[in-house]
Amino acid sequence: MTFDTLGLFEPLLRTLASLNYRTPTPLQLQSIPAILHRRDLIATAQTGTGKTAGFALPVLQLLTTAGAPVRANSVRSLILVPTRELAEQVHQSVKTYGQTLPLRTLAVYGGVSINPQMMALRKGVDVLVATPGRLLDLHRHNAVRFSQLQVLVLDEADRMLDLGFASELDELTAVLPKQRQTLLFSATFSERLEQLAVQISRDPLRIAVNTPNAAASTVQQSLVPVDRKRKTELFLHLLRDRQWGQVLAFVNTRKGADLLVQAIQATGTRVEAIHGDKRQPTRLRALERFKAGEIQVLVATGVAARGLDIDDLPLVVNIDLPVVPEDYIHRIGRTGRAGAAGEAVSLVSADEVPHLAAIESLIGELLTRREEASFEPDHRLPVTTVDGQIKKKPKKPKKARQATQPAHTAPAPATAPNSRIHLGDWLEDEPSGARTPAASRSGSGKPASTRRPPRQ
Ligand code: AMP
């Protein structure tokens, strides 16, 4: 199957040929004809499925071939995204795909001065990529009008809700014309998101290119059990010992990111961090340098890295497991893109076992455990089951325990026998909510999805 069977017009086909896009991805096969036929769409698609081209190409074609020229301060299509980085990247893709078309495009997001964005909107914009907060600001300043809006795209809608944009989305959809085409893309679907999708779309076509909530099947996933205090040391050891090339390393906090960068720098490895404390130009520069191969390790907090489009990234390392299990899927979605092989390694300490169990339950599989010689944890990582349970070791007489654990050299299988767990260690580390199935409860006792993630 080629792109010219999908109804795309000549200018776009030429651009796709110049980009060497030969075959549409499964998502594009379904989304492009449906969007060209002006259907609303609800698509379950993670990054790496070609979803940006899947909506951008037909939208660009519709804007070129239908509708009046854009008026001052008006927008003809709107792509809402959760983060500034994603806004830049989606805008870059839109510009690339529409390079030969007579359309004006713009990205607007917070964290930078609003005035140049207000100026740029004056002539009107055919494709506006925006984060919800900044777009509302611009609307309140009368810098943007929606009366000409034909298409609304919500990209990474689950993430927008996770980041607390629900009320902004309500406010925005209330001021958009009812007569419009709505396209919603999300890696995962919750009940809340389903409600939003039904509310804002009309008779949508539903597309799911991956099993909902399943991790990219091309990514090899494993974990290394380790004591929390030795995580940095283990990362540096693996970087050297496994001769890792470029690595995208995730941590949960800004402070954690800075400390890790210092430790990596001390070994002479080129490293930078992107997180919420860094200014936008600094974050984009770090990303560009990483893409250009000028730095080996990019340390990122989950929010800052959202939507990073890095081709052929072979390895993602979770120094910390994400608190929200869906974030695991987003993080490992940075590798194994568009069918390429990728690897995701998580360094997991015993206190993270509720998060681990929740992730495994979400993706429907256990992460392969590989102990690293001389890094076997004192606080053993409890065994988890695929339905989100955390197994504790039954109490045994001291002698028997010693007999079953003479050394920590053998790699722990994914379904390690319970005898490998030190009950004492586990209880010492056990968070209050850990005795219930971890898929629905994490350390705080609140459902994982309602907990506020740490500052990123
Ligand atoms: P996305 O899922 O939109 O983040 O896209 C993932 C990557 O796949 C991007 O680097 C795109 O440039 C690339 N891509 C998208 N569609 C195709 C295609 N049909 N053929 C080759 N590469 C593609």
* pTM recorded for the entire structure: 0.58
Residue 292's nearest CA partner among 264, 261, 270 is: 270
Kindly state the greatest CA–CA separation across the chain. Answer: 82
User: Does one domain contain both 55 and 89?
Assistant: yes
pLDDT of residue 423: 24
Residue 331's nearest CA partner among 206, 129, 169, 156 is: 156
pLDDT of residue 277: 72
Please report whether residue 268 resides in a domain.
yes
Averaged over 131-157, what is the pLDDT? 96
pLDDT of residue 217: 60
133 has a pLDDT exceeding 60:
yes
pLDDT of residue 213: 45
Task: Enumerate long-range contacts of 125-128, CB under 8 Å, 24 or more apart.
Answer: 125/70, 125/74, 125/75, 125/76, 126/63, 126/70, 126/75, 126/76, 126/77, 127/56, 127/59, 127/60, 127/63, 127/75, 127/76, 127/77, 127/79, 127/94, 127/98, 127/103, 128/75, 128/77, 128/78, 128/79
Percent residues over pLDDT 90 in the chain: 55
Q: Whose CA is nearest to atom 5 of ligand 1?
A: 50
pLDDT of residue 159: 87
Lowest mean pLDDT among 17-21, 199-203, 384-388: 384-388
Q: What is the mean pLDDT of the chain?
A: 82
User: Does one domain contain both 241 and 176?
Assistant: no
Compute, in angstroms, the gap from residue 3 CA to the centroid of ligand 1: 13
Please report whether residue 83 resides in a domain.
yes
3: Cβ below 6 Å to ligand 1?
no
51: Cβ below 6 Å to ligand 1?
yes
Please report whether residue 264 resides in a domain.
yes
Q: Whose CA is nearest to atom 1 of ligand 1?
A: 50
- Give 100-111 pLDDT, tens digit per residue: 999 999 999 999
Q: Whose CA is nearest to atom 12 of ligand 1?
A: 50
Domain containing 271: what range? Answer: 219-428
337: Cβ below 6 Å to ligand 1?
yes
In the block, residue with structure tokens 């490293």:
271
- Give 72-83 pLDDT, tens digit per residue: 999 999 999 999
Q: Whose CA is nearest to atom 16 of ligand 1?
A: 50
Please report whether residue 89 resides in a domain.
yes
User: Does one domain contain both 197 and 321?
Assistant: no
User: Does one domain contain both 164 and 67?
Assistant: yes
325: Cβ below 6 Å to ligand 1?
no
Q: Whose CA is nearest to atom 13 of ligand 1?
A: 50
Burial of residue 172, with CB atoms counted within 10 A of its CB: 0-12 exposed, 13-18 middle, 19 or more buried:
buried
Compute, in angstroms, the gap from residue 340 CA to the centroid of ligand 1: 11
User: Does one domain contain both 383 and 285?
Assistant: yes
CB neighbours (10 Å) of residue 155? Answer: 25
Please report whether residue 455 resides in a domain.
no
Please report whether residue 141 resides in a domain.
yes
User: Does one domain contain both 316 and 176?
Assistant: no
Compute, in angstroms, the gap from residue 333 CA to the centroid of ligand 1: 13
156: Cβ below 6 Å to ligand 1?
no
Compute, in angstroms, the gap from residue 318 CA to the centroid of ligand 1: 24
User: Does one domain contain both 285 and 409?
Assistant: yes
- CATH number for the domain spanning 226: value is 3.40.50.300
Compute, in angstroms, the gap from residue 50 CA to the centroid of ligand 1: 4
Lowest mean pLDDT among 3-7, 196-200, 215-219: 215-219
- Domain boundary pick from 208, 231, 259: 208
- Domain boundary pick from 173, 208, 243: 208
Please report whether residue 94 resides in a domain.
yes
44: Cβ below 6 Å to ligand 1?
no
21: Cβ below 6 Å to ligand 1?
yes
Which neighbouring-strand residues pair with 75?
Answer: 125
| Between 223 and 390, residue with greater pLDDT | 223
Nearest 5°: CA angle at 261, between 259 and 267? Answer: 110
Pick left, alpha or beta for residue 342 (phi over 0 → left; psi -120 to 50 → alpha; otherwise beta): beta
Residue 213's nearest CA partner among 302, 328, 323, 321 is: 328
336: Cβ below 6 Å to ligand 1?
no
User: Does one domain contain both 341 and 368?
Assistant: yes
Binning pLDDT at 50, 70 and 90, where does residue 216 land? low
Binning pLDDT at 50, 70 and 90, where does residue 388 land? confident
For residues 178, 180, 186, 192, the Cα torsion angle rounded to the nearest 10 degrees is 10
Lowest mean pLDDT among 139-143, 217-221, 262-266: 217-221
- Give 41-50 pLDDT, tens digit per residue: 999 887 778 8
- Domain boundary pick from 157, 178, 208: 208
- Give 145-165 pLDDT, tens digit per residue: 999 999 999 999 988 988 889
User: Does one domain contain both 170 and 246?
Assistant: no
The pick from 3, 13, 52 for probing ligand 1's pocket by mutation, whose C-beta has the most ligand atoms within 8 angstroms, reads 52
| Between 409 and 65, residue with greater pLDDT | 65
User: Does one domain contain both 199 and 65?
Assistant: yes
pLDDT of residue 402: 41
Within 13 A of 291's CA, how many CA atoms are on the CB side?
12
User: Does one domain contain both 200 and 274?
Assistant: no
User: Does one domain contain both 190 and 268?
Assistant: no
Averaged over 280-286, what is the pLDDT? 79
Which neighbouring-strand residues pair with 43?
Answer: 185, 207
328: Cβ below 6 Å to ligand 1?
no
98 has a pLDDT exceeding 60:
yes
25: Cβ below 6 Å to ligand 1?
yes
In the block, residue with structure tokens 């679907």:
189
Binning pLDDT at 50, 70 and 90, where does residue 337 land? low
Compute, in angstroms, the gap from residue 53 CA to the centroid of ligand 1: 7
Q: Where are the beta strands (DSSP E) in 263-355?
A: 271-274, 297-301, 315-318, 342-348
Please report whether residue 452 resides in a domain.
no
Structural domains counted in the chain: 2
